[in-house]
Amino acid sequence: MTNIKTCIFIVFLCFLMNQSFAQSVNWQTLKNNRHIAHIHTSWDHGLVYGLGYSYQLKLKTPILLQASYSLPSGNQLLDDFKVKLGGQVRFYKINYFQFSASLYALYRRFQNPLVRLQNFGTELSIVAGYYKSRWFIAGEFGFDKAVVTHFKHSDRFKTFIYTNVQDGWAEPATGGNFYYGLQAGVSFYKSDLVLKAGLVSEQSFQQTPIIPYYLQLGYNLKIK
């Protein structure tokens, strides 16, 4: 029952908040903290602001259930956003070297005067790093797949561009991006301050996004 309540709480938080990359934590200082709040600002296909929450399960292997919500800047606050639900696990540790993996389900939305896109996707990543009690540095590699996307075009699109454009769910998967980079953080009191940076490449490695990098400054607060 407790777990069901936890899940409902996580889902609730998902839809209250908005987008992000995998939330970075200092595994060395996590210990028995159960509740962790995250905030961040990042360059992630736009200037993005996000909130997140992690819940640590009481297990021998550290597992974090996570939810986050992010949205890009702009005049229209609710037209674009990304929700993530998933978790990460530290699956291997040797001295101060620790390895973790994460898996998230994504829902994201984009709307401009021409089209509304809704997408369900998934994101996988692995992180390998050196974690001390006051700081850490790690490398990460991830893949963000836009699995299925719904298209709804506006009258403007149909008038000025293509009258017979198709609305509805599209296949095959409409996109995917690899990302790889470094993350580093400092830990103090109940907090982590984390900086992440790296490159983004389209899944075929033949194209790059308009801005082919990401940058994130995040803050974690271990609540309890």
The answer to the question of residue 139 lying near another protein (CB under 8 A) is: no
Give the tokens for residue 201.
């490449």
| Cα–Cα separations (whole angstroms), residue 8 to 40, 45, 51, 54, 108 | 23, 29, 17, 13, 20
The answer to the question of residue 95 lying near another protein (CB under 8 A) is: no
The answer to the question of residue 177 lying near another protein (CB under 8 A) is: yes
The answer to the question of residue 110 lying near another protein (CB under 8 A) is: yes
- Measured in degrees and rounded to the nearest 5, phi and psi for residue 75 equal -75, -30
Per CB under 8 A, the list member of 114, 186, 197, 215 interacting with another protein is: 114
Q: Collapsing DSSP states into helix, strand and coil, what is residue 9?
A: helix
The answer to the question of residue 199 lying near another protein (CB under 8 A) is: no
Per CB under 8 A, the list member of 112, 191, 197, 215 interacting with another protein is: 112
The answer to the question of residue 60 lying near another protein (CB under 8 A) is: no
Nearest residue (CB) to another protein, 29 versus 70: 70
Give the tokens for residue 191.
């907090």
Q: Which residues contact 20 (CB under 8 A, 6 or more apart)?
A: 38, 40, 42, 44, 48, 50, 52, 68, 70, 82, 84, 216, 218
- Measured in degrees and rounded to the nearest 5, phi and psi for residue 17 equal -100, -170
Residues engaged in binding another protein (CB under 8 A): 3-4, 6-7, 45-47, 57, 65, 72-76, 80, 82, 85, 105, 108, 110, 112-115, 117, 119-122, 144, 146-149, 151, 156-157, 159-162, 164-166, 168-177, 202-204, 206-207, 209-211
